[in-house]
């Protein structure tokens, strides 16, 4: 039997050993996905505490037993309205959303086609579904067309084909060619699921993501996202037609067999969505984009539209860890991202910006990166 200490030693040798970092409030945080600074918004905190007074601390059961509160209903109606869909369903986490939805939609005989850089939760959900998995190189439309053609040639009248992509990719910060992907799905009668985890809050006239920015909300079958990034709270969601949501309620095991998230979390998330869609949300987005532009200019990076994620490429895991430690010693939290989160030899620092950062903090980060790269 292999020993866990041997496995850990191998990870250590490869500079791939991970541990849970200690929280240090004094560090300037360039690791968070709190793109709008809503995690400490007083209005969201008030919605949370008010809901505790109304509904108590926990939901006490799964949604289908007695765990559904008016706060859960309000969150889902708020999401459906914001996304322009008939209905929505919320989950405890983004991971459970991915797994629950994909295993509900797909079964043996179906085909799921994923972008190579899709999040691990989407890959896991696809594997667990039993469907045939096909992968196309990142944002490679010709290969996606080839896969859709071959899938259509083999499909039965009863099988489903689902294309899955992220709107903004979590490690590279680039956007999917969503209009072209949507057109291909329509041409081949495939369903389309878009993970807006890193698009929600920062893109679109009301912050509802890349699909809203491109005017494609009505062309997406399944709008997925998380509420623990730009929304600043926690949980995940899927917005779609009512008939699909009814299916998920009956088949998504991560929904059926999980205790419901606390009502206070649902209430706080609903308030976060309202803020994102408000004038205040628009002002926070404007501040965020100014911060993004400031760092891109300081680092002489190309202006990449659509993302608050800026990868600082290094290559080797050991060197990425060393630079991350230097920044930490200087008072900045910037995580080193390594294999298997990213491909081998593509280790990087993953910089995320927020509307809460100030120009001096961004300038300090940029100066340190430039000085250490010379």
pLDDT at position 209: 97
Classify domain 24-40+279-373 at the CATH class level: alpha beta
Residue 198 falls in the annotated catalytic set: yes
Q: Which fold has domain 42-277?
A: 3.40.640
pLDDT over threshold 80, residue 373: no
- Catalytic one of 41, 72, 83, 198: 198
Q: How far apart are CA 1 and CA 6, in angstroms?
A: 11
Q: How far apart are CA 355 and CA 366, in angstroms?
A: 17
* 29 beta partners: 333
Residue 119 falls in the annotated catalytic set: yes
pLDDT at position 45: 98
- Catalytic one of 34, 110, 115, 166: 166
**Contact by Cβ (8 Å): 87, 243:** no
Mean pLDDT, the chain, as a whole number? 95
- Which of the 8 DSSP states describes residue 176? P
- Catalytic one of 90, 96, 129, 170: 170
pLDDT at position 146: 98
pLDDT at position 8: 82
Q: How far apart are CA 311 and CA 110, in angstroms?
A: 35
- For the chain, give every domain's residue range: 24-40+279-373, 42-277
Cβ within 8 Å of residue 154, ≥6 positions away: none
- Catalytic one of 119, 213, 223, 357: 119
Which of 25-29, 80-84, 147-151, 294-298 shows the lowest per-residue confidence on average (mean pLDDT)?
A: 25-29
CA distances from 162 to 94, 147, 217, 328 (A): 19, 11, 17, 42
Residue 195 falls in the annotated catalytic set: yes
Residue identified by tokens 């309000």 is 74
Give the global pTM. Answer: 0.93
Residue 77 falls in the annotated catalytic set: no
Cβ within 8 Å of residue 235, ≥6 positions away: 90, 91, 92, 93, 94, 226, 227, 228, 261, 265, 266, 269
Q: How wide is the angle at C-alpha 211 spanned by C-alphas 205 and 215, nearest 5°? A: 65
pLDDT in tens, 321-365: 999 999 999 999 999 999 999 999 999 999 999 999 999 999 999
pLDDT at position 11: 86
Residue 250 falls in the annotated catalytic set: no
Residue 166 falls in the annotated catalytic set: yes
CA of residue 353 relative to chain centroid, distance: 15
CA of residue 286 relative to chain centroid, distance: 21
Q: What percent of the chain has pLDDT over 70?
A: 99
Taking alpha carbons only, the member of 95, 222, 201, 111 closest to residue 159 is 111
Maximum CA pair distance of the chain?
A: 61
- Catalytic one of 34, 110, 195, 196: 195
Residue 138 falls in the annotated catalytic set: no
pLDDT over threshold 70, residue 374: no
């Amino acid at each position: 039997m292999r020993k866990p200490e041997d496995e850990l030693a191998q990870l250590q040798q490869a500079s791939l050993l991970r541990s849970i970092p200690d929280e240090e409030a004094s560090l300037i945080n360039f690791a968070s996905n709190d793109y709008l600074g809503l995690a400490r918004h007083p209005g969201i905190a008030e919605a949370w505490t008010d809901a505790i007074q109304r509904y108590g601390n926990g939901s006490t059961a799964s949604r289908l037993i007695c765990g559904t509160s008016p706060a859960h209903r309000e969150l889902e109606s708020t999401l459906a309205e914001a996304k322009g869909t008939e209905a929505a369903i919320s989950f405890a986490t983004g991971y459970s959303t991915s797994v629950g939805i994909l295993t509900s939609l797909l079964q043996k005989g179906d085909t799921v086609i994923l972008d190579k850089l899709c999040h691990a939760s989407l890959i896991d959900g696809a594997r667990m579904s039993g469907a045939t998995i096909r992968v196309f190189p990142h944002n490679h439309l010709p290969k996606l067309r080839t896969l859709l053609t071959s899938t259509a040639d083999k499909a039965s009248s009863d099988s489903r084909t689902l294309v899955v992509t992220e709107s903004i990719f979590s490690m590279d910060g680039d956007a999917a060619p969503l209009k072209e992907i949507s057109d291909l799905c329509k041409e081949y009668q495939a369903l389309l699921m878009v993970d807006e985890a890193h698009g929600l809050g920062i893109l679109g006239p009301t912050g509802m993501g890349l699909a809203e920015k491109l005017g494609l909300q009505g062309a997406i079958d399944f709008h997925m996202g998380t509420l623990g990034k730009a929304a600043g709270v926690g949980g995940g969601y899927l917005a779609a037609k009512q008939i699909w949501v009814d299916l998920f309620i009956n088949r998504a095991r991560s929904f059926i067999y999980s205790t419901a998230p606390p009502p206070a979390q649902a209430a706080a998330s609903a308030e976060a969505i309202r803020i994102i869609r408000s004038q205040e949300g628009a002002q926070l987005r404007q501040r965020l984009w100014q911060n993004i532009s400031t760092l891109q200019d300081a680092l002489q990076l190309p202006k990449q539209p659509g993302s608050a994620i800026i990868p600082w490429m290094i290559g080797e895991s050991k060197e990425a860890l060393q630079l991350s430690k230097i920044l930490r010693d200087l008072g900045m939290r910037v995580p080193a991202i390594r294999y298997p989160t990213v491909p081998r030899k593509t280790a990087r620092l993953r910089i995320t910006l927020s509307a809460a950062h100030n120009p001096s903090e961004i300038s300090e980060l940029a100066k340190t990166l430039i000085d250490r790269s010379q």
